Amino acid sequence: MTPRLDRLRRDLGALIGPWLDRRSPPAAPRDGAAWPAPRPTRGLSARPLQVEAVDRLTPDAVAVTLTDPTGAPIPFRPGQFLSLSVTVGGQRLRRAYSLCSDPADPRRVQIAVKRVAGGRVSNHLNDRLRPGDTLEVFGPSGDYAARLAGARRLALISGGSGITPHLSILRAALADPLGPQVTLIYGNRDRGAVMFRDALDALVARSGGRLVVRHVLDDAEGPLTPETLAAVLDELDLTDDAGLRWLVCGPAPMMDGALGLLAARGVDPRRVDAERFTPAPTLDTLPDEPQPLQVRAGGSVWTARVTPGQTLLEAGVEAGAPMPFSCAVGGCGACKVRLRGGEVVLRTPNCLSAEERGEGWVLACVAHAASPVRLELDR
């Protein structure tokens, strides 16, 4: 197949794959649903992308448009994210940002970054990023929204920056004439905090009734609690059926409330997907002793000391080991490594299946050492 045809096939695949149930394995945290196996990610390497534009969406959020300087496309599936490697204050940090642009246009992709109070990367990108800058980018990765086959309706429940994956999902849905009907429920502090307000209005206007957007503003109705959400679902007459898929992304309390409400209403958890931007809660029983760590890869060995609270990924990276990773919150499978010795405890939820655990795999980004640990990076 010629490179052009191959590219076209990949781009089309990225766009329509989710509706055809052509899924690839890596998973985002998906509460209550079966966890698919992470795909091997040894080939995960960074590529430089150029910042084409930085557009202010709200006082606390920017949209960043990225292109490949070689002109190569950046194909992605709706709901996937990029991991940016950014130097802030002399420290190299990696953070995930969901793609929010139309997957049908892989030559120019967009992410949006909302400030987190005291956050190093989000504030750096909001204050310092300029058109013409180059960013080191991993991915796209993630499998949020990969199981939309057969969906006749989508209900997207978003809070704040949790709009980003839902934007690419709804854009792909609307681009498909046979795609599902979409309802977006979007919670924000006030009108001024709504990211992509104009873009959403334009999408609704062009959708011919296929997209309904219901904003929920804290200063008008209160935060998007289970009670408020229940009232909004009733108002929209959004009743559950086998053709409806629920997707939830936003701040942890909002997500927990929404997922609890759906469970209480008897929604089949296999039709509910959730994308978490923050790590799984800290374990009550985190190991409290420092432990030695040994990492082997390609005939070399790195040694480190894992301090209480530190993950194997953090300790390995600190020691200079070539640890693979992307989301760093247990959702993508990129950091899957072989446990060759020792005991670890894993934060949950995460995307490792029970079968993989049984085979000796661990996710380094959510793993803590409960004894001296040996890891093998070669697969």
| Interface positions with ligand FAD (CB under 6 A) | 81, 95-98, 111-114, 116, 118-123, 142, 161, 164, 277-278, 327, 329, 331
Q: How far is the CB of 114 from ligand FES (least distance, A)?
A: 20
Q: How far is the CB of 334 from ligand FES (least distance, A)?
A: 4
Task: Look at strands 181-188 and 211-217 and give their pairing.
Answer: parallel
Measured from the CB atom, the residue of 74 and 280 that comes closer to ligand FES is: 280
Q: How far is the CB of 111 from ligand FAD (least distance, A)?
A: 6
Q: How far is the CB of 49 from ligand FAD (least distance, A)?
A: 15
Question: Of residues 335, 346, 369, 375, which one binds ligand FES by CB under 6 A?
Answer: 335
Partner touching 119 among ligand FAD, ligand FES, none, CB below 5 to 8 Å by kind: ligand FAD
d(CA 10, CA 4): 10
Measured from the CB atom, the residue of 114 and 347 that comes closer to ligand FAD is: 114
Measured from the CB atom, the residue of 76 and 325 that comes closer to ligand FES is: 325
Whose CA is closest to 83, among 74, 92, 96?
A: 96
Measured from the CB atom, the residue of 261 and 335 that comes closer to ligand FES is: 335
Cα-based distances in Å from 270 to 132, 162, 183, 310, 353: 43, 21, 19, 33, 16
Q: Is 274 in the site for ligand FES (CB under 6 A)?
A: no
Residues in CB range of 168: below 8 A, 6 or more apart: 76, 78, 79, 80, 98, 99, 100, 101, 102, 103
Measured from the CB atom, the residue of 26 and 159 that comes closer to ligand FES is: 26
d(CA 364, CA 126): 29
Whose CA is closest to 122, among 64, 196, 166, 199?
A: 64
Residues in CB range of 180: below 8 A, 6 or more apart: 148, 151, 152, 153, 154, 173, 243, 245
Residues in CB range of 2: below 8 A, 6 or more apart: none
Which positions from 315 through 334 interact with ligand FES, judged by CB under 6 A? 325-328, 330-334
Partner touching 278 among ligand FES, ligand FAD, none, CB below 5 to 8 Å by kind: ligand FAD
Partner touching 97 among ligand FAD, ligand FES, none, CB below 5 to 8 Å by kind: ligand FAD
d(CA 99, CA 215): 21
Partner touching 58 among ligand FAD, ligand FES, none, CB below 5 to 8 Å by kind: none
**Number of residues near ligand FES (by CB under 6 A):** 12
Question: Of residues 365, 369, 375, 377, which one binds ligand FES by CB under 6 A?
Answer: 365
DSSP for 294-350 reads EEEETTEEEEEEEPTT--HHHHHHHTT-----SSSSSSS-TTEEEEEES-EEE-SS-
Measured from the CB atom, the residue of 58 and 326 that comes closer to ligand FES is: 326
Query: What is the binding site for ligand FES (CB under 6 A)?
Result: 325-328, 330-335, 363, 365
